[in-house]
Amino acid sequence: MLEAGLYSMALATACYDCAIYCLRANLPDEATFCRDQAHEVALCCGLEDDEEEESSEERLSDGEDE
């Protein structure tokens, strides 16, 4: 079980890294895809929860309004 959790964390981290590299290369669609994949892995494996994601999205949208 621990090994599966470590694998999932590594996979989610790799997907987030992919998103960062895509943003740096000016590939926003690919970055969004990688970020979404990372979120799916993290949610599936219990590495993050829906409430945490929603609150971070609300903070981002609040910052855009100002």
Q: What is the pLDDT of residue 43?
A: 85
Please state which of the ranges 6-20, 36-50, 51-65 shows the lowest mean pLDDT.
51-65
The pTM for the full model equals 0.62
Q: Is 41 exposed, middle or buried (0-12, 13-18, 19+ CB in 10 A)?
A: buried
CA dist., res. 18 & res. 33, Å (int) = 9
